[in-house]
Amino acid sequence: MTQSDREIRQAGVRRTIWRSVAALVGMFAFAFALVPLYDVFCRVTGINGAVDTTAQSIVHEEVDESRMVTVQFITRNGSGLPWRMEVETRQVRMHPGQTTEVHFTFSNQSGGESWGRAVPGVSPATATRHVRKVSCFCFEEQKLQAGERLELPLVFQLARDLPPEVNTVTLVYTLYPVEGKSEPLQTAGAQNKEGEEA
Amino acid sequence: MAPKVPPQPTLEQSTSAVDAGHGHHHAHEAPPKGIMRWLLTTNHKEIGSMYLIFSLIMFFIGGIFALVVRLELFQPGLQFVNPEFFNQMTTMHGLIMVFAAVMPAFTGLANWMIPLQIGAPDMALPRLNNFSFWLLPVAFGLLLSTLLMPGGGPNFGWTFYAPLSTTYAPPSTTFFILSLHIAGISSILGAINIIATILNMRAPGMRMMDMPLFVWTWLITSFLLIAVMPVLAGVITMMLMDINFGTSFFNAAGGGDPVLFQHLFWFFGHPEVYIMILPAFGIVSAIIPAFARKRLFGYASMVYATAAIAILSFMVWGHHMFVVGMPLAGQLFFMYATMLIAVPTGVKVFNWVATLFRGSISFEPPMLFALAFVVLFTIGGFSGLMLAIAPADFQYHDTYFVVAHFHYVLVPGAVFAIMAGVYYWLPKWTGHYPNVRLAQWHFWLSVIGVNLTFFPMHFSGLAGMPRRIPDYALQFADFNFVSSLGAFLFGFSQLLFVAVIILCVRGGKKAPAQAWGEFADDLEWSVPSPAPLHTFETPPTFQRPAH
Ligand code: HEM
Ligand SMILES: [Cu+2]
């Protein structure tokens, strides 16, 4: 093998390395880019039940009297927040286009003040974009004093263009603590064991 | 898996017929002695041997973990270990087998054989090669040590779904992440090295379409590694940040999404399963023609099928996630895309069978394993097709049926191909043929053991037995009894494999340069057996075999 052959080889190897490194960096960045892309994708398509968490205005469209849709409410406690969340009714029947108000109560069962937030989800995913929330406690974080009870409304409509095959829409709310704003959990938890289990 | 490296080369030996006439004697100083020699070696053959020995040791450690699992599942009820430890065993078994046994074994074979098969004197980046090997003992020493840490080792399954692996994970998880990062860097460096070697170091006259299929499949595997290992690194980095720095990539409370974890993981994970099988295709494509005494049927279609599989493997990750609540359109897309992969895979199986057709077949140990590979891997492919049917997968998902599927493609698939490769190349590594009697015992006990272990899992899975549980309902008792017996049979017969290798290093029937006859005629068979430490210092002129 001559000197020049070896140099050509070396140059080839170097080129391969740089291209590989570029591909590696690109793919690593791609993995992180997928996080916002995924979010945008889910929001645009409504997959995932990821709903818009900003208020929308009431649209005065004609109520579709011919159609009845069942809307169910599920409330859940995520871990780490000693609150209880209840809804006045588990289920309502309504027409597309109609505006409905439902009340939810939050009670802090611990001995300290804490911040929480209810994260919404919609099922089936195809209904997500047709749920129009005018006012929702899920738009913002809540603060509850020790033992405080708070009643908050959800005002919403189902749009008339709700896909015809959807007869039941389920709205799920999961309670989570707001990082950094709650008091250290130990005090709350230690004082109120039963509350946490609820 | 040759524990001993070919005899120390003297100048006379390296001036054998193959590299006669080379003018320069660089880097032939006597290598350092003892442990330093192994720590510092940059020789592709020595590094290849180290990879293979490492992989064999890890194969036994991972195997012991599997036997702990099978021991507990031998009978219903909790007998031997508590559920927490059981979960650590299933997790560690999977992690070790995938990342420390199968992947390093293929890298070891690549190190040994790729330079020999393309007529290169060594890998393109020999020092990097040494570094990528030595990262592995560090990575897996660390991973194994998590078992002794407070709270135990990883217990969330080899797929480490968040938030199980973040919010609810044991404190040792940070070390798990670190060890996976190190192992990932090792794979990436190995892949760069292999690509650089194949693209730049081929013997004059060897075109891409002249390369042996083992080289081709490894080239494509390396591209897969470069594409997906950074994604794995990204996912575990996100986990690390969720655990230690309060981010919420996968935490719904903070606006993250656990389903995102699964998308990212399987975007890596599905190509990863092909990383573990493509080099196996290459090995089998070398062995079948050698012992059927015919040219491989459809060389070009093999290359294109491999490339097609690799490209499609980026579009099917969703088949692991049919039950997460994916929209119908997504389910259909992933279902059809997955089934499409069966087409190039079918082309390969067809070509192997066509090569066998009217061949003059003999059943030496490598051929036994290669034939078992073709049959049993195909069974795994069929159960994969069943799983690919989205509505059917709603029933099968997370049952033992999935366990049966991936063990058929990985054990009598990838692992048998590795063993076939070891038997095939042992004469080149050691200069001796492996002991046929012992190898046959090893083969038959392994085949029986594998099928006893994994075939009943199809039935227990279809009957509804969930995977990853330490105890089960009584109706599954018989299937589990058979599976456990088979597992112990398979596990202990691997000791025969070690025996064959040790005996073969020590002595045995002498092998000539072209050890398996005229149809095993890739370049590695043109150097003496055992292959001297330095080969092809002067590039050989590549002669295209008359087809
Ligand atoms: C025709 C080819 C194949 C098809 C159609 C196929 C299909 C599938 C499907 C649909 C699943 C998901 C099952 C579930 O979780 O419900 C699966 C799981 C799996 N497959 Fe395959 N597969 C094929 C080949 C392979 C190969 C070649 C390998 C590896 C060498 C492999 C390794 C795996 C593994 C490891 C899992 C389980 C991952 C886990 O959840 O732990 N498959 N396969
Ligand atoms: Cu897959």
Q: What ipTM does the predicted assembly reach?
A: 0.86
Model pLDDT for residues B167-195, shown as the tens digit of each residue: 899 999 999 999 999 999 999 999 999 99
| Ligand positioned closest to the Cα atom of B270 | 2
Model pLDDT for residues B476-488, shown as the tens digit of each residue: 999 999 999 999 9
In whole angstroms, what is the distance from residue B274 CA to residue B311 CA? 11
> Is residue A188 predicted with pLDDT exceeding 50?
no
> Is residue A98 predicted with pLDDT exceeding 80?
yes
Q: Are residues A35 and A63 in the same domain?
A: no
Q: Are residues A117 and A187 in the same domain?
A: yes
- Residues A143-154 have a mean pLDDT of 87
Q: Are residues A103 and A155 in the same domain?
A: yes
- Residues A60-73 have a mean pLDDT of 86
> Is residue A116 predicted with pLDDT exceeding 50?
yes
Indicate the range of A4-18, B5-19, B229-243, B436-450 predicted with least confidence: B5-19
Q: Are residues A155 and A77 in the same domain?
A: yes
pLDDT at residue number B21: 39
Distance from CA of B42 to the nearest CA of A (A): 17
SS3 for B349-416, per residue?
HHHHHHHHCCCCCCCCHHHHHHHHHHHHHHHHHHHHHHHHCHHHHHHHCCEHHHHHHHHHHHHHHHHH
Contact predicate B56/B498, CB 8 Å: yes
Ligand 1: residue of B320, B350, B379, B394 to mutate (most ligand atoms within 8 A of CB) is: B320
> Is residue A7 predicted with pLDDT exceeding 90?
no
Q: Does B499 touch chain A (CB under 8 A)?
A: no
Per-domain boundaries in chain B: 39-526
Global confidence as pTM: 0.85
pLDDT at residue number A127: 85
CATH of the domain at A129: 2.60.370.10
Tell how far the Cα of B268 is from the centroid of ligand 1, in angstroms: 13
Tell how far the Cα of B322 is from the centroid of ligand 2, in angstroms: 11
pLDDT band for position A190 (cuts 50, 70, 90): very low
In whole angstroms, what is the distance from residue B230 CA to residue B243 CA? 20
> Is residue B15 predicted with pLDDT exceeding 90?
no
The protein residue whose alpha carbon is closest to atom 2 in ligand 1 is: B381
Structure tokens at B302: 């093999």
- Residues A5-27 have a mean pLDDT of 92
Per-chain mean pLDDT for chain B = 92
Q: For chain A, how many structural domains are there in total?
A: 2
pLDDT at residue number A50: 59
* C-beta atoms of B233 and A28 within 8 A: yes
Domain housing A70: 52-197
Q: Are residues A30 and A117 in the same domain?
A: no
* C-beta atoms of A125 and B201 within 8 A: no
SS3 for B115-152, per residue?
HHHHCCCCCCCHHHHHHHHHHHHHHHHHHHHHHHCCCC
Nearest atom of ligand 1 to the alpha carbon of B338:
5
pLDDT at residue number B1: 39
Dihedrals φ, ψ of A18, to 5°? -65, -40
Residues of B in contact with A174 (CB under 8 A): 252
Residue with the bigger pLDDT between A125 and B280: it is: B280
pLDDT at residue number B107: 98
pLDDT at residue number A47: 67
Contact predicate A192/A110, CB 8 Å: yes
**Of the spans A151-155, B26-30, B264-268, which averages the highest pLDDT?**
B264-268
- Residues B508-525 have a mean pLDDT of 94
- Residues B119-140 have a mean pLDDT of 96
Indicate the range of A142-146, A179-183, B160-164, B441-445 predicted with least confidence: A179-183
Q: Which residues touch A13 (CB under 8 Å, ≥6 apart)?
A: B124, B125, B196, B200, B201
- Percent of chain B exceeding pLDDT 70 equals 94
Indicate the range of B25-29, B90-94, B360-364 predicted with least confidence: B25-29
The protein residue whose alpha carbon is closest to atom 6 in ligand 1 is: B384
pLDDT at residue number A53: 65
Tell how far the Cα of B383 is from the centroid of ligand 1, in angstroms: 9
Give the CA count within 13 Å in the CB-facing half-sphere of B381. Answer: 21
Is residue B342 lining ligand 1, measured as CB closer than 6 Å? yes
Class of B39-526 per CATH? mainly alpha
Q: Are residues A4 and A56 in the same domain?
A: no
**Of the spans A64-78, A140-154, B399-413, which averages the highest pLDDT?**
B399-413
pLDDT at residue number A1: 61
Model pLDDT for residues B39-61, shown as the tens digit of each residue: 999 999 999 999 999 999 999 99
Nearest atom of ligand 1 to the alpha carbon of B410:
30
Q: Does B238 touch chain A (CB under 8 A)?
A: yes
Indicate the range of B8-17, B65-74, B217-226 predicted with least confidence: B8-17
- Residues A88-94 have a mean pLDDT of 89
Residue with the bigger pLDDT between B323 and A189: it is: B323
pLDDT at residue number B79: 92
The protein residue whose alpha carbon is closest to atom 42 in ligand 1 is: B406
Residues of B in contact with A177 (CB under 8 A): 253
Model pLDDT for residues B488-499, shown as the tens digit of each residue: 999 999 999 999
Cα–Cα–Cα angle for A9, A14, A15, rounded to 5 degrees: 95
pLDDT band for position B8 (cuts 50, 70, 90): very low
> Is residue A77 predicted with pLDDT exceeding 70?
yes
Residues of A in contact with B327 (CB under 8 A): 45, 47, 125-126
Helix (H, G, I), strand (E, B) or coil at B6: coil
Give the CA count within 13 Å in the CB-facing half-sphere of B479. Answer: 20
What crossing angle do the helices spanning B436-462 and B477-506 adopt, rounded to 10°?
160
Q: Are residues A38 and A59 in the same domain?
A: no
- Residues B439-444 have a mean pLDDT of 98
User: Which of B192, B228, B247 best probes binding to A when mutated, by most A CB atoms within 10 angstroms?
Assistant: B192
pLDDT band for position B75 (cuts 50, 70, 90): very high
- Residues A38-66 have a mean pLDDT of 74
User: Which of A7, A28, A43, A173 best probes binding to B when mutated, by most B CB atoms within 10 angstroms?
Assistant: A28
pLDDT at residue number A132: 85
SS3 for chain A, per residue?
CCHHHHHHHHHHHHHHHHHHHHHHHHHHHHHHHHHHHHHHHHHHHCHHHCCCCCCCCCCCCCCCCCCCEEEEEEEEECCCCCEEEEECCCEEEECCCCEEEEEEEEEECCCCCEEEEEEEEEECHHHHHHEEEEECHHHCCEEECCCCEEEEEEEEEECCCCCCCCCEEEEEEEEEECCCCCCCHHHHHHHCHHHHHC
Tell how far the Cα of B384 is from the centroid of ligand 1, in angstroms: 6
* C-beta atoms of A179 and B246 within 8 A: yes
Q: Which of B60, B65, B91 is nearest to B495 (CA)?
A: B60
* C-beta atoms of B125 and A12 within 8 A: no
Give the pairing type, strands A149-158 and A131-135. antiparallel
> Is residue B103 predicted with pLDDT exceeding 50?
yes
pLDDT at residue number B110: 98
> Is residue A194 predicted with pLDDT exceeding 50?
no
Nearest atom of ligand 1 to the alpha carbon of B393:
16
pLDDT band for position B166 (cuts 50, 70, 90): very high
pLDDT at residue number A187: 34
Q: Which of B26, B187, B193, B210 is nearest to B119 (CA)?
A: B210
Is residue B309 lining ligand 1, measured as CB closer than 6 Å? no
Residue with the bigger pLDDT between B253 and A84: it is: A84
pLDDT band for position B326 (cuts 50, 70, 90): confident
> Is residue B19 predicted with pLDDT exceeding 70?
no
Contact predicate A192/A109, CB 8 Å: yes
pLDDT at residue number A185: 42
Ligand 1: residue of B91, B406, B407 to mutate (most ligand atoms within 8 A of CB) is: B406
In whole angstroms, what is the distance from residue B373 CA to residue B348 CA? 12
Give me the active site residues of B, please.
93, 122, 158, 186-187, 270, 272, 274, 285, 319-320, 345, 348, 467
Tell how far the Cα of B402 is from the centroid of ligand 1, in angstroms: 7
Per-chain mean pLDDT for chain A = 80
Q: Does B418 touch chain A (CB under 8 A)?
A: no
Residues on chain A bordering chain B, Cβ-to-Cβ distance under 8 angstroms: 1, 9, 12-13, 16-17, 20-21, 23-25, 27-28, 30-32, 34-35, 38-39, 42, 45, 47-48, 50, 78-80, 117, 119, 123, 125-126, 174, 176-177, 179-180
Q: Which residues touch A144 (CB under 8 Å, ≥6 apart)?
A: A83, A106, A107, A108, A113, A114, A116, A150
Q: Does B260 touch chain A (CB under 8 A)?
A: yes
- Residues B109-134 have a mean pLDDT of 96
Ligand 1: residue of B95, B103, B273 to mutate (most ligand atoms within 8 A of CB) is: B273
